[in-house]
Amino acid sequence: MALDPTSDRRSVGESPEMATYVTGPHFEPTHERAKVPAVGPGRDVDGFVRQFMRELNYGQGVSLARSTVNDQYLALAHTVRHYLMQGWIQTGKRRRDAGDRVVGYLSAEYLLGRQLDNALLASDLQEIAREAMNACGLDLDILRAQEIEPGLGNGGLGRLAACFVDSLATMDVSCIGYGIRYEYGIFKQTFVDGRQVEEPDSWLALGSPWEFPQPDRATRIDFGGHTETYTGEDGRERVRWVPSWDVQAIPYHLLVPGYRNGVVNTLRLWSARATSAFDLQLFNQGDYAEAVRARTFAENITKVLYPEDSTPQGRELRLQQQYFFVAASLKDFIRHTLPADFDLHQLPERITFQLNDTHPVIAIPELMRLLVDEHDFEWEQAWDVTRRCFDYTCHTLLPEALEVWPVELLGRLLPRHLEIIYRINEDFLAEVREAFPGDELRARRMSMVQEHPVRAVRMAYLATVAASKVNGVAELHSRLLRDKVLPDFSELWPDKFTNVTNGVTPRRFVRMANPGMSELITEAIGEGWVTDLERLRELEPFADDAAFRERFRAVKVANKDRLRQLLHHRDGIELPEGHMLDVMVKRLHEYKRQSLKLLHIVSLYERLISGEVDPATITPRTFVFGAKAAPGYHMAKETIALINAVAKTIGEDPRVEGRLAVAFPANYNVTLAETLIPAADLSEQISLAGKEASGTGNMKFALNGALTIGTDDGANVEIRELVGGDNFFLFGMAEPEVAALQAKGYVPSSFYQQSPQLKRTLDLIASGAFTGGDRSTVGAVLDDWLNTDRFMAMADFDSYLAAQARVDEAYADQDRWSRSAILNVARSGFFSSDRSMRNYLQRIWDLKARS
């Protein structure tokens, strides 16, 4: 491709000096020697050591003898990165040459987890790296532990995005993941007197060896101002956006390596920077704070991840973040990824944007604006192109989690986009009125603009109208989405709705997290399962093989040992040995019902200390919690405090010593999940039916040989169908029963009256037994349980306890338990994110995987 300085597509109103920044066509060498692809370092211990020493000496600028662990980690990361570069460059070139259609995954969150382990696994360098570090007198495990994971997401939604890009690279599908490079990711959780305290997550502080900044590819993003109409040269009426302020978006590339296939895709994360660094005149006058004010203001946009999970915070900065990253991504794709002379009428043939929840939905009016205002499209043409470019994934059923943006805010921040949304809505409502003449109520229900409590845009409706396909994330969720959340829309467009059940990457969550079990599986059925997880079915016969069960159990014991060591060093927690490990890890949310788990623990404890049950006769259990609460979520934080209080009381009570323990390591994240999940015996998935869209934690546990105790909710339904009812502990109301009870009028205190066990449990908490005799601190939680209990923990309590009794009974027969655990692994191959991606390709993107 020739370098043509005039070919840069420049947008209306772009200042000329910006143009020198944004040109950056791919340089293709003409000299023969330069065409020879760069050769990576030798793929042996010697080559690795050489590269490592070069990185340490010339990159970090230290000798081995003088280097810190952080120097060594950075040099190691750079070394591994070297081995990926050739694949990255070649993948990019191959895709450009082929003019592949690209999946543009738009997600405000990517909860990536540590990069080093994954890069070593993908490039098959684990053994070489270990030996090379040994040869240098270093311990790979110590260096691995130095990495701070990029926590650029809150929980399931962000982790899903990370699993999906991993699968697309492994399947060699052309994908660019677009997102935000938060300077501070999800907060670091600590406990002070058992209460959550949030600390900033400065993941970049010690260097970030996995990213490539591209400041020369910066692009300008506008905000504010007003719009003007004018008549174009062709006599047509046009609209021009006259923004009042702008920031620069700087792209950072992260590598997304496929599993041992040489493919390396790209994650393109945007960072905000002020258009002008500071006002030199003010600075010279000594007004330092004012001189850098603009800079601070601009850079706040990507300063920190909102620590909200499933409830939108109506904050202006959040809308700025959303527009910032999608506007940068669209502009970048059109300008840099497409050839310069590309006809945008063909855009749907080159890109398909997947909207990961409503956070990126502002991309829809942005594409309309680009096409109509800047590329002279007729409205209808632009709408046709836009509709074919977007698909939308909904992740929730909670009404409060459906994002709305006040019209006042949108009009102030993005005045042109608000106009465009109004026009889309007008056209849409005309279509509704035509399809349902005289049904004005329906038109009002379906409007993208709600009038109460404030006039606001319903982003999920906008997404549903514009998208070619709308999907839920598990069978049950997709059905409820169609029938309960968006029934008017599914009536109008039944074919628009589909399901893709979520999945998790088997590379990170089985192969990497559980090396012992992976080895056992590979020995039994070969190694193809890592990229073809349905092959785990071949393990089924081994469930009846006593010797295999024995080895499977030994792996679990070893994984528990590994966890015990980690918690000892990480948290100073001493896990007892030989217990059943009962684990509930996920964000703290009322609908997930950590409090129901807590009530089970307290009821067990109560029966032991009251003498009803002899401690010597019970199955010893250790309960492990991991959960962050959104900083402003009061009830969630009270629940954390109560769990910690119960953990402390039980831990100090000699009457239950060795029989019952509760551990709550702080700061649950991907890294902790990777050690915790493979050690678990029992997986707690106990949300109120109809509230958890899918869950992916549930899949990770089943794939690592834990049995699930769970409600008929989200993907639990599919897990149970696949692993079989004998290998899953089901309890609680199903969704229709929940709806019926709600309709009848739910009175939580009636369950307290009827269930003696529940009464004794709540009374013990109310007595102050866990709060040093203080009854006031538990007042709020008890009041909520007895008088509100929005997620009906009281109603499911008895059923939950009965299911826990079945767990004890099953666990007492270790052979039966191991058989069930192996069958859980063998029958959970469906939950690979590779399968999810195949479903997206077939049902939504209409693309084919190359392999």
Give min distance, CB of 117 to ligand PLP, in A: 14
Q: Which of 502, 531 has the CB closer to ligand PLP? A: 502
Give backbone dihedrals phi and psi of 114, rounded to 5 degrees, phi first: -60, 145
Stretch that binds ligand PLP, among 35-43, 397-405, 669-677, 823-831 (CB under 6 A): 669-677
What string of DSSP letters covers 657-693? TTTEEEE--SS--HHHHHHHGGG-SEEEE-PPTTT-S
- When asked if residue 472 is in the footprint of ligand PLP (CB under 6 A), the reply is no
Q: Which of 49, 163 has the CB closer to ligand PLP? A: 163
For the record, the structure tokens of 163 come out as: 């699993």
Instruction: Evaluate whether 384 touches 422 at the Cβ level (below 8 Å).
Output: no
Reference 164, options 473, 497, 491; nearest CA is 473
User: Which residues, listed in sequence order, are joined to residue 471 by a DSSP beta bridge?
Assistant: 393, 498
Q: Rule CB under 6 A: which of 376-435 touch ligand PLP? A: none
- Alpha carbons 793 and 604: distance in angstroms, whole number: 17
Binding-site member from 338, 520, 670, 792 for ligand PLP (CB under 6 A): 670
696 in catalytic set = yes
Q: Which of 685, 771 has the CB closer to ligand PLP? A: 685
Q: Rule CB under 6 A: which of 679-708 touch ligand PLP? A: 695-697, 700
Instruction: Evaluate whether 705 touches 552 at the Cβ level (below 8 Å).
Output: yes
Q: Which of 155, 732 has the CB closer to ligand PLP? A: 155
484 in catalytic set = no
Please state, as a whole number, how many other Cβ atoms lie within 10 Å of the Cβ of residue 714.
Answer: 30
- Alpha carbons 470 and 392: distance in angstroms, whole number: 5
Spot the catalytic one: 586, 593, 659, 827: 586
700 in catalytic set = yes
Give min distance, CB of 586 to ligand PLP, in A: 3
Instruction: Evaluate whether 672 touches 590 at the Cβ level (below 8 Å).
Output: no
691 in catalytic set = no
- Alpha carbons 178 and 253: distance in angstroms, whole number: 10
Pairing verdict, β 219-223 and 211-213: unpaired
Mention every residue, 6+ apart, whose C-beta is less than 8 A from residue 523.
none
Spot the catalytic one: 369, 395, 508, 628: 395
Give min distance, CB of 665 to ligand PLP, in A: 12
Binding-site member from 82, 95, 114, 159 for ligand PLP (CB under 6 A): 159
Give min distance, CB of 715 to ligand PLP, in A: 9
Q: Which of 72, 687 has the CB closer to ligand PLP? A: 687
For the record, the structure tokens of 719 come out as: 């897990």
Q: Which of 159, 600 has the CB closer to ligand PLP? A: 159
What string of DSSP letters covers 18-33? HHHHH--PPP---SHH
Backbone φ/ψ region at 61: left (φ over 0), alpha (ψ -120 to 50), beta = left
- Alpha carbons 409 and 222: distance in angstroms, whole number: 15
Instruction: Evaluate whether 152 touches 179 at the Cβ level (below 8 Å).
Output: yes
Q: Which of 185, 697 has the CB closer to ligand PLP? A: 697
Spot the catalytic one: 579, 700, 827, 835: 700
- Alpha carbons 206 and 204: distance in angstroms, whole number: 6
Binding-site member from 67, 320, 393, 669 for ligand PLP (CB under 6 A): 669
- When asked if residue 732 is in the footprint of ligand PLP (CB under 6 A), the reply is no
- Alpha carbons 507 and 235: distance in angstroms, whole number: 58
Give backbone dihedrals phi and psi of 706, rounded to 5 degrees, phi first: -95, 150
Residue 231: strand, helix, or coil: strand
The site that binds ligand PLP (CB under 6 A) totals a number of residues, namely 12
Give min distance, CB of 94 to ligand PLP, in A: 32
Length of the chain: 851
Spot the catalytic one: 592, 600, 659, 691: 592
Binding-site member from 87, 156, 312, 365 for ligand PLP (CB under 6 A): 156
226 in catalytic set = no
Site string for ligand PLP, 755-774 (x = CB under 6 A): --------------------
- When asked if residue 310 is in the footprint of ligand PLP (CB under 6 A), the reply is no
- Alpha carbons 802 and 807: distance in angstroms, whole number: 9
Spot the catalytic one: 181, 587, 589, 659: 587
Give min distance, CB of 789 to ligand PLP, in A: 21
Residue 82: strand, helix, or coil: helix
Stretch that binds ligand PLP, among 53-61, 123-131, 151-159, 543-551 (CB under 6 A): 151-159
Stretch that binds ligand PLP, among 86-94, 319-327, 666-674, 827-835 (CB under 6 A): 666-674
Q: Which of 465, 722 has the CB closer to ligand PLP? A: 722
Give min distance, CB of 793 to ligand PLP, in A: 17
Give min distance, CB of 396 to ligand PLP, in A: 12
Please state, as a whole number, how many other Cβ atoms lie within 10 Å of the Cβ of residue 651.
Answer: 15
Stretch that binds ligand PLP, among 152-160, 226-234, 259-267, 375-383 (CB under 6 A): 152-160
Spot the catalytic one: 302, 696, 708, 761: 696
- Alpha carbons 836 and 44: distance in angstroms, whole number: 36
Q: Rule CB under 6 A: which of 578-617 touch ligand PLP? A: 586-587
| Residues near ligand PLP, by CB under 6 A | 155-156, 159, 586-587, 669-670, 673, 695-697, 700
* Active site residue ranges: 395, 586-587, 592, 696, 700
